[in-house]
Chain A
């Protein structure tokens, strides 16, 4: 018994539900028995990881699905011990170097080398390379990324890298150029609807098309999210009705309330309240850019056309600086303060115009 999203995860390339051409290309890529380093990127819930696992299964057979979790401790040059957990099969190793925070460079250097320097003994029955799957590569520090460059070339014979990330904008050029980049776009609404209804069918449920559509839209083309929401709907109410309320994530609700608070009143006191709410979001590890985006979306709903552009530009400005800075709350708060100031001015000017 597990969540649908995990239960009905396809395990072979042929069973993938969408982006079939890409699946076919991947299969043919692997068919020859070798492939270059891959850089797989795409939005969350598009099926990157699923696709990678399918690819590995295609390459090594069912053996890759026997996974184990390993805890490795690596001693940094500064004598600091770094604990990191990896997921490994006999054929591959999955690691998220960004778990080590600022020491991700050490993880890359040490871990990758140990794996890459060991040769496969039985090359007749096995591939002569192992695969290292690095996730969240876009969270790697620049140092770590540079450490990756040389390793990628040096151990080409024994090791293939599959890098997985949401966006390649944060990946340095040299790495991009060393990899075959595979973009996994988010599934279309139709794709999601299709998957939802097929999953429901497997569960023995009937899903109204309208609800599926709404779920797909609400999920923001995130299939996993759509499936999770669908399951929540099932728990909430069955049989489904087309106009049934779609449950949201807690943080989404909270974020929307925050945005509403901003729009409803523009005072220093309110700014303080909003700050408290932003802190709450941040402590729940909601990424600040998501918060910014969520706020903007909600705020734009309450803005006039002329103001919209201004606010959107503002948001972009602050979001950019947020990436450059270190304390997200400052920038979020500055954005809110700016919005309040502009909004207040806009509203009062509008009132004045109406009066005179």
Chain B
């Protein structure tokens, strides 16, 4: 019903519900935020339970309970949320507090923001506990709370050990939660003594963790965040599954704890083994070794082997079993903690590595975009430079894989034996990076002939090593191969994931936890993620507690009620399978604002949109229940009522819009191009959505407050630019590729991204396709594939003509078809452009020899002529199938002959302009010829070529010679040739040659004025009709001609002086 569900983001309605519950209390946002922050800190730190925190937590619980009443739809989202739970910290404390202050409502109100997040988390209960809890919310609350309370004291213990894991696996925490839950459950029930020891260790560990946290905080970067988010999203799904399994486990295990444990576990193990395998296959596949953390994993494994005789099931299953048997668990914990202490160094190392990789990636991104720009410019100027003189004279060396990894090059000047593009691709092939300008990060400046002055200077000031092309080749030859940073990052990631699987639940959990607080502190504002998780975690716990509390009999009912649960599991399994079939585009769709690539900055489009939407109500209606907008910026467009997101396809406009809505808890209606969007239909939809309240709102009885919060997303209105952050895209794509088990070297990925014109969607589609065939791609393969997939970008005619004559590598890459395809970008304009510009090209083939150059010019011109002949055939006989022939003649052949350096920007074809002015002249001449035809009997061509000059002279001469007195003569002449004043102007215009002024314009203005006056004084008779006064004229009808209908046009004039007598008798019509 609601997309939000699928993304597991906070359903907007819930927040309001919470508020509704509190009823009398007014929500103060500011307070809520601040308190929320506080809490966030506290939870992260996991400091000893303080009273404030517990209160808040209680509040959450209550809320949760309230939510329980909600429809089950949300169950799914809840599940998701559960998996994300990274804060176990929260759970223990609340429990303790609960005991002390069973119900503290006050705090709730303060934490509105967090509510939103936690609401979801509340749901988990619905499934498990809600069944138990009857409609009365208040009563259920207490009931729920108490069981939890018992469990809570223990939980801190678990938390602490897990924290150690944080160091290892920040990102790939997948299974962790279920383990946690399980452990918590059992610990309380079985042994309390252990907790004490554990607590001590935990505290120690926590100290470490905190320091680590802080460190990370400072280092944390947006990019790292995005990457992390990306990684998390897919895991969620798995985690969800896990949680479900847990649920099942819980149900089974709770009644009789330890005894049944093994059996049930085994049963489950077998059941779930299949699933688990599926899920983990990708991650497990890389399990094996190298990683420092793996030791932990091994330990864990060893443990499991000891404790559990299970063999065929996957290690994961084994882990689960471990979890449930508390003894083992404890053992594992202690072991782990020891390990951690021992391996502190190692641990520290690994996180560092992780951090490094994102940093690198980030550094690429701005540079990369800059590089593109610079390259373009450089290429422009490069075109005007002479090409390499000794192309191919040197052998291009083969180097070790990724031998230039991490090195940044700047190429300046013309390299003698290798095209610049080639050099670039050489460097990129070996993992190096080529940027356009020298910066601190630049390692080498490759200098060639005519190098850029500024670059050299900058390089020397920055201490960059300056090498020539030989140096570059040497570098390639000698540098040892490395692993690409992406690979490294991905590997570490994978290992983490793997180890986390193997490790005891706490470890993995801690991994997640580590992640979330980090993020949260980095951008506290949007900390909806973390609280969510905390919430879910709690809820899970509650559930567990509730279940435990049940008597056997009750348990049965629970089971019954939970019957849908297994189903749910099945469903989720199905959905899991579905994700396999999902397009990657959908699979890796960002699920929160923070995971949108390139939109992390405070000033990013997404955030702007967020702020705008947040303050919309405040601005639209003064009494809005608007939340305080954090942005003080004046450019947030608050005065506007709607926002327009625009940008190239695939940058994530729709995603951003919907995520922003979700973030703020607005429900939205999305209308895209597939919907009719007439005014009336729009009205209908909007009205409907405004009147509607979702069922869940209705159930909670808060529907009235919901109404104002709708957003209408008009998608595909036609036609939010990301910041062309290829580096960011690359990193994200690499991680996705890795997760899908696709091996692609970073340069290859770069090629693919370039080919898709930075369209993430396209990149994903392409990857999806290629990986279907083969799971690994080499640079060259990718390059070939990428060029094949290169989006058909429509080129403008200027680009076309530039490409037609482009020399060097660009041309050599193009096949004949490519070349003739250029023609088809605009087949009517392309030949004109080619013809206009072929003279401007310096053909490389001529080698500066004028004779050869002229010969080539002539041959190109001949070919263009052939093209023209074909064109005539096409247009006159509609032989459109000849177009390819014309393409060859008009574009390919001239291009082939003249290939070289164009000395200037392509010129727009003058032919078009000339053609139209020819047409104009022709019309003028025709009119002139018609006017004079009674006198001259000449066709227009004769008039044009023979009469024009004498006519002009005859008109101008008297004026020139006699001044104003000559006007009479001139007018007499005009009358004899039936010319009008306009004709004079026309004659003057078309008898101008080469831009020289006409003799008429050189006349004295006074004379001209006199001439005009004299002309206007008299009435001039013309034998032809004037179109402008057509309707005024009526023929006196003397000559009954054959066309009566045309009479109005019929006028007469004596054709010759000989018949003077007839002139008077003829019907002459006065014109004007």
- Of the candidates A2, A49, A224, A337, the one whose C-beta lies within 8 Å of that of B977 is A2
- Asked if A341 and B855 make an inter-chain contact with CB atoms under 8 angstroms apart, the answer reads yes
Q: Which of B867, B973, B1059 contacts A1 (CB 8 A)?
A: B973
A285 lies within 8 A of B921 (CB): yes
**Residue A271 interfacial (CB < 8 Å):** yes
Find out whether the CB atom of B1054 lies under 8 angstroms from the CB atom of A2: no
Give the Cβ gap from B617 to chain A, nearest Cβ, in Å: 58
B936 x A6 contact (CB < 8 A): yes
Q: How far is the CB of B506 from chain A (nearest CB, A)?
A: 79
A114 touches B851 (CB 8 A): no
CB pair B1059–A326 under 8 Å, yes or no, is no
With a cutoff of 8 Å between Cβ atoms, the chain A residues found around residue B860 in the complex are: 337
Chain A nearest CB: distance from B936 CB in Å? 6
What's the Cα separation between A115 and B939 when bound, in Å?
22
Judge whether B947 is part of the interface by a CB distance below 8 angstroms. Answer: yes
Is A96 in contact with chain B by the CB < 8 A criterion? yes
B925 cross-chain contacts in A, Cβ below 8 A: 285
Decide yes or no whether A79 CB sits under 8 A from chain B.
Answer: no
Contact check, A318 vs B865: say whether CB atoms are below 8 A apart: yes
In chain B, positions 922-951 with a C-beta closer than 8 Å to chain A are 922, 925-926, 930, 933-942, 944-951
The answer to whether B944 touches A284, judged by C-beta atoms less than 8 angstroms apart, is: yes
A232 near B: Cβ within 8 Å?
A: yes
- Least CB distance from B859 to A in Å reads 8
Q: A314-356: contact bitstring with B at CB < 8 Å (1 yes, 0 no)? A: 0000100100111101110110011011101100100000000
Q: Which of B922, B947, B1058 contacts A228 (CB 8 A)?
A: B947
Is residue A279 within 8 Å, beta carbon to beta carbon, of the partner chain?
A: yes
Asked whether, in the complex, the Cβ of B941 is within 8 Å of the Cβ of A330, the reply is: no
Known: A65-B1055, A254-B993, A330-B835. A71 touches B1046 (CB 8 A): yes
Q: Which chain B residues lie closer than 8 Å to A72 at the CB level?
A: 1043, 1046, 1049
Residues 138-165 (chain B) with a chain A CB within 8 angstroms: none
**Is B879 in contact with chain A by the CB < 8 A criterion?**
no
Residues A251 and B1051 in contact in the complex (CB < 8 Å), given A85-B1024, A96-B939, A327-B911? no
Binds A, one of B439-447, B677-685, B868-876: B868-876
Residues of B within 8 A of A68 (CB): 1023, 1039, 1041, 1050-1053
Digit string of B34-77 for contact with A (CB within 8 Å is 1, else 0)? 00000000000000000000000000000000000000000000
Report the bound CA distance from A45 to B993 in whole Å.
24
Is there contact, CB below 8 Å, between A338 and B858? yes
Interface assignment of A286: CB less than 8 Å from any CB of chain B: yes
A194 to chain B, nearest CB (A): 20
B857 close to A (CB within 8 Å): yes
Bound complex: CA A96 to CA B927 (Å): 13
A77 within 8 A of partner (CB) = no
Indicate which residue in B855, B861, B946 contacts A330 across the interface (CB closer than 8 Å): B861
- Quick one: which of B941, B972, B1052 contacts A67, CB cutoff 8 A? B1052
- Closest residue of chain B to A278, judged by CB? B914
Are the C-beta atoms of A71 and B857 separated by less than 8 Å?
no
- Interface extent on B, as a size class? 35 or more
Question: Are A279 and B910 touching (Cβ within 8 A)?
Answer: yes
* Chain A proximity of B132: nearest CB distance (Å): 83
In angstroms, Cα B1023 to Cα A66, docked, is: 11
Given contacts A67-B1023, A249-B946, A282-B918, contact A2 B976 (CB under 8 A): yes
Q: Does B994 contact A (CB under 8 A)?
A: yes
User: Smallest CB–CB gap between B1033 and chain A, Å?
Assistant: 11
CB <8 Å contact, A334 and B858? yes
Tell me the nearest residue of chain B to A254, going by C-beta: B993
Cβ-neighbour of B868 out of A2, A250, A325 (below 8 A): A325
Contact A334 B869 (CB under 8 A): no
Q: Report whether A341 and B857 are in contact in the complex, using a CB–CB cutoff of 8 Å.
A: yes
B865 to A285, Cβ gap below 8 A?
Answer: no
In B257-273, which residues have CB < 8 Å from any A CB?
Answer: none
Q: What 0/1 readout, one digit per residue, does chain B (980-991) give for beta carbons within 8 Å of chain A? A: 000000000011
Q: In whole Å, how far is B857's beta carbon from the nearest beta carbon of chain A? A: 5
8 Å CB contact of A271 from B857, B869, B1025, B1050: B857
Task: Indicate if the CB atoms of A2 and B935 lie closer than 8 Å.
Answer: yes
Neighbouring B residues of A285 by C-beta, 8 Å: 918, 921-922, 925, 940-941, 944, 990
- Identify the closest chain B residue to A333 (Cβ): B861
Q: Is the CB of B918 within 8 A of A67?
A: no
A85 touches B930 (CB 8 A): yes
The contact of B1066 among A9, A66, A228, by CB within 8 Å, is: A66
Whether B853 is near chain A, meaning CB under 8 Å from some CB there, is yes
Chain A, residues 162-198, CB within 8 Å of chain B (1/0): the string is 0000000000000000000000000000000000000
Q: Which residue of A lies closest to B936 (CB)?
A: A6
* Among candidates A49, A65, A135, residue contacting B1056 with C-beta atoms closer than 8 Å: A65
| Interface residue B1042 (Cβ < 8 Å from any Cβ of A) | yes
Q: What chain B residues lie within 8 Å of A283 (beta carbons)?
A: 914, 917-918, 921
Contact B993 A268 (CB under 8 A): no
Q: Which residue of B lies closest to A84 (CB)?
A: B930
A36 to chain B, nearest CB (A): 23
Which chain B residues lie closer than 8 Å to A325 at the CB level? Answer: 865, 868-869, 871-872
State A72–B951 Cα separation when bound (angstroms): 28
**A277 to B, closest residue via Cβ:** B994
Any B CB within 8 A of the CB of A275:
yes
Does A32 interact with chain B (Cβ within 8 Å)? no
B699 at the interface (CB under 8 A from A): no
B contact residues around A85 at 8 Å (CB): 930, 1024
8 Å CB contacts to A: which residues of B875-924? 875-876, 910-911, 914, 917-918, 921-922
Residues of A near B396 (CB, < 8 A) are none
Closest A residue to B926 using CB positions: A99
Complex contact A290–B945 (CB within 8 A): yes
Residues of the B chain whose Cβ atoms lie less than 8 Å from the Cβ of A49? 937-938
- Are A88 and B1041 closer than 8 Å at their CB atoms? yes
Q: Kindly state the separation between the CA atoms of A87 and B969 in the bound complex, as whole angstroms.
A: 27
Across-interface contacts of B934 in A (CB, < 8 A): 67, 69, 87
Alpha-carbon distance A325/B930, docked complex (angstroms): 29
Asked if A66 and B991 sit within 8 Å, CB to CB, the answer is no
A196 to chain B, nearest CB (A): 15
Contact residues in A for B953 (Cβ distance below 8 Å): 232, 235
Chain A residue nearest to B871 (CB atoms) is A326
Chain A residues whose CB sits within 8 angstroms of the CB of B949 once the complex forms: 232, 247, 249-250
**CB-CB under 8 A for A11 and B1058, given A90-B1039, A321-B865:** yes
Interface residues as binary, A46-67 with B (CB distance below 8 Å gives 1, 0 otherwise): 0001100100000000100111
B839 and A268 form a contact (CB under 8 A) = yes
B864 contacts partner chain A, Cβ-Cβ < 8 Å: yes
Contact with B along A235-247 (1 / 0, CB 8 A): 1000000000001
Bound together, the chains give a CA A250 to CA B934 distance in angstroms of 25
Tell me how far the C-beta of A179 lies from the nearest C-beta in chain B, rounded to whole angstroms: 19
Taking CB atoms and an 8 Å cut-off, the chain B residues in 681-729 that contact chain A are none
Give CA–CA (A6, B876) in the complex, Å.
40
Closest approach, in angstroms, between the C-beta of B508 and any C-beta of chain A? Answer: 73
State whether the Cβ of B1003 lies closer than 8 Å to any Cβ in chain A.
no
Q: Is B768 an interface residue (CB 8 A)?
A: no
Mark each residue of chain B from 118 to 149: 1 if its CB lies under 8 Å from any CB of chain A, else 0: 00000000000000000000000000000000
Contacts A3-B954, A285-B940 supplied; 16 other A-B pairs, CB < 8 Å: A1-B976, A3-B951, A11-B1056, A11-B1058, A65-B1054, A114-B1043, A115-B1042, A228-B950, A231-B950, A267-B850, A268-B840, A287-B941, A327-B871, A337-B857, A337-B861, A338-B861
Q: Which 8 residue pairs are nearest across A and B when measured between Cβ atoms?
A: A334-B861, A341-B854, A341-B858, A325-B868, A337-B858, A69-B1024, A337-B861, A68-B1052
In the assembled complex, 11 residue pairs joining A and B whose CB atoms fall closer than 8 Å, in A order, are A53-B937, A65-B1059, A69-B1049, A72-B1043, A115-B1042, A272-B839, A280-B994, A326-B872, A326-B875, A330-B861, A341-B855
Contact surface of A with B, Cβ cutoff 8 Å: 1-3, 5-6, 9, 11, 44-45, 49-50, 53, 62, 65-72, 85, 87-88, 90, 96, 99, 114-115, 118, 135-136, 222, 224-225, 228, 231-232, 235, 247, 249-251, 253-254, 266-268, 271-272, 275, 277, 279-280, 282-287, 290, 318, 321, 324-327, 329-331, 333-334, 337-338, 340-342, 344-345, 348
